[in-house]
Amino acid sequence: MNSAKNQPPLHLATIGMGSNLGDREATLREAILWLGEQSGNRLRSCSSLYETEPFGKADQGWFLNCVIQIETSRELQGFFRVLQEGEVRFGRVRGERWGPRTLDLDLLFFDDAVYSDAELTVPHPGVAVRRFVLEPLCEVAPDLVHPSLGQRASSLLGQLTESSRVVCLGRPPVVLNRSVII
């Protein structure tokens, strides 16, 4: 019996993505496609690409960033493990903090969960203070309410004093058509 009643509940995961090594755009595109193909996942939305100056460590190449939303039947920890697997799959080597990387997958929000352990904090602690996260987030979910702060993403962006350079390239890494990746 395959009725909707027997399907696991879907969760909405919001992911910040970034890359500043190799073919940045291809890496982001391929990672988005890979995430959407994982069991229980469906890509719901994808922002445009944003070219952003590095955060936390200036002496490295600029990043390409975007934000995606995925509907998933996985629970929080299982979904986080998929993100970690994706980083490794696309060549991420954890070295210095805020250093260069082929792929960064940050779990920004998972439904309205507030959770923290030694490996994971949701909402991501940097969401409210990083322009390279808030600008693409506001493109796909301006009314998303930060569950700890009680403010919409658009309000957080409006209050932001951080002034790093963020340039919208005006094109998404993938195109969505009725939730189907073309």
CATH code (residue 32): 3.30.70.560
Please tell me whether residue 152 adopts helix, strand or coil conformation: strand
Residue 156 has a CB neighbour count (10 Å cut-off) of: 22
- In 3D space, the residue among 17, 59, 54, 60 whose CA is nearest the CA of residue 166 turns out to be 54
Residue 180 lies in a domain: no
Distance CA 170, CA 56 (A): 25
pLDDT 10s digits, 25-45? 999 999 999 999 999 999 999
Residue 144 lies in a domain: yes
pLDDT 10s digits, 71-94? 999 999 999 999 999 999 988 777
How many domains, in total, are found in the chain? 1
Q: Give me the domain span that covers residue 23.
A: 4-170
Tell me the angle at which helices 76-89 and 24-37 cross, rounded to the nearest 10 degrees: 140
pLDDT band at 4 (very low <50, low <70, confident <90, very high): low
Residue 176 lies in a domain: no
Q: What is the pTM of this model?
A: 0.90
Which pLDDT does position 19 carry in this prediction? 95
Residue 156 lies in a domain: yes
Catalytic residues: 92, 101, 104, 106
Distance CA 138, CA 136 (A): 5
Residue 14 lies in a domain: yes
Residue 65 lies in a domain: yes
Dihedral sign from CA coordinates of 138, 54, 19, 173 = positive
Residue-averaged pLDDT of the chain: 89
**Contact of 67 with 31, CB cutoff 8 Å:** no
Which pLDDT does position 34 carry in this prediction? 95
Q: What percent of the chain has pLDDT over 70?
A: 89
Instruction: Extract the tokens encoding 181.
Output: 């990746």
Residue 178 lies in a domain: no
